[in-house]
Amino acid sequence: MIRSDNSPEQKGEASPAPSSFEVEAVHLQRDGRAILSDVSFKIDPGQVMGIVGSNGAGKSTLMKMLAGHVRPDTGTVLFCGKSVSAWNPRALARGVAFLPQTLPTNENHTVRELVSLGRYPWHGPFRRRSDEDYKAIEEALRQTDCLPHADRLVSTLSGGEKQRAWIAMVLAQAKQFLLLDEPTSALDIAHQARTLDLLRRISHDNGIGVVLIVHDLNIAARFCDKLLTLRDGQVVAFDTPEIVMQPDILSEVYDIPIQVFTHPAEGYSVGYIA
Ligand SMILES: Nc1ncnc2c1ncn2[C@@H]1O[C@H](COP(=O)(O)OP(=O)(O)OP(=O)(O)O)[C@@H](O)[C@H]1O
């Protein structure tokens, strides 16, 4: 079953204009096995899209494809109407930031220094940071509530503070899309909710697209505008949480019986193993 609701060109190192990711009929094989099969969807800026599905379903591979780190065997991945692989890497990095599942250890930097690294695609190796760079760094620190500990070493932060510092770094970097592979995996339920709420606000207030991989279905349903469900590399459903959070869809995605209830106060759906 597939359910789906389903730009200007960039030249050289010009800053990208606002636009979408369009994934069309993507296939990828590894070791003779299909990792992604006929995956298609479109995601616009100003929306939060959650990718959900069981372990090994292809979520990280799909996100790496959006980031341009993995090329499809067939099919297309377009950003601003242009194939991701055809982009100048620095120009792409100004539009799209990718935070992988395993974070590099930059723990000897202060939080402000870490966030400053996000500006590299803008000033490059030879130019000094501009006023605009400094403004973007301070704004990202402010939006993520990192200002109070901006001068502390990353190594001294709690897990939640660290996660926010990395989010600040990608926020300082990219103007159009943040690709976040399990950004809340190490967080308790309160920090998960706060981080997802922050990403949702950043997305809606600034017109930024956020694509994130998340395992907690209830958190995904609460904070995402769209959910893309993957099973064995295939899209089972791509739509709003109201449409996707159905027992038949979720049971198919995870291959176990799942019941869905409506939150008594908030009205959104939550899923439980039946
Ligand atoms: N380079 C590779 N060579 C062979 N197999 C690969 C390669 N990369 C990924 N795979 C396989 O593709 C499948 C999808 O991997 P992927 O990391 O995208 O899954 P995932 O949905 O993100 O899983 P998880 O929830 O466990 O992180 C897995 O079975 C994985 O072993």
With tokens 């997802």, the residue in question is: 196
**Ligand 1 contact via 90 beta carbon (within 6 Å):** no
**Ligand 1 within 6 A of 212 CB?**
no
Q: Which residue's CA lies nearest to atom 24 of ligand 1? A: 55
CA of 61 to the centre of ligand 1 (A): 6
Q: Which residues pair with 28 in a beta bridge?
A: 36
Give the ligand 1 atom nearest the CA of 62.
18
- Average of pLDDT values for 117-132? 89
Using CA of residue 109, residue 111, residue 113, residue 115, what is the dihedral sign? positive
Chain segment 133-172, per-residue pLDDT in tens = 999 999 999 988 899 999 999 999 887 788 889 999 999 9
pLDDT digits (tens, 9 = 90+) for 83-103: 999 999 999 999 999 999 877
User: Over 90: is that where the pLDDT of 254 sits?
Assistant: yes
Contact yes or no for 123/129 (Cβ under 8 A): yes
Closest Cα to atom 18, ligand 1: which residue? 58
What is the predicted pLDDT for the residue at 138? 97
| Cβ(201) – ligand 1 distance below 6 Å | no
Distance 44 CA to ligand 1 centre (A): 26
Taking residue 89's Cβ as centre, other Cβ atoms within 10 Å add up to 10
User: What is the per-residue pLDDT across 26-82, written as a single tens digit (0 to 9) for each?
Assistant: 999 999 999 999 999 999 999 999 999 999 999 999 999 999 999 999 999 999 999
Q: Which residue has the higher pLDDT, 71 or 273?
A: 71
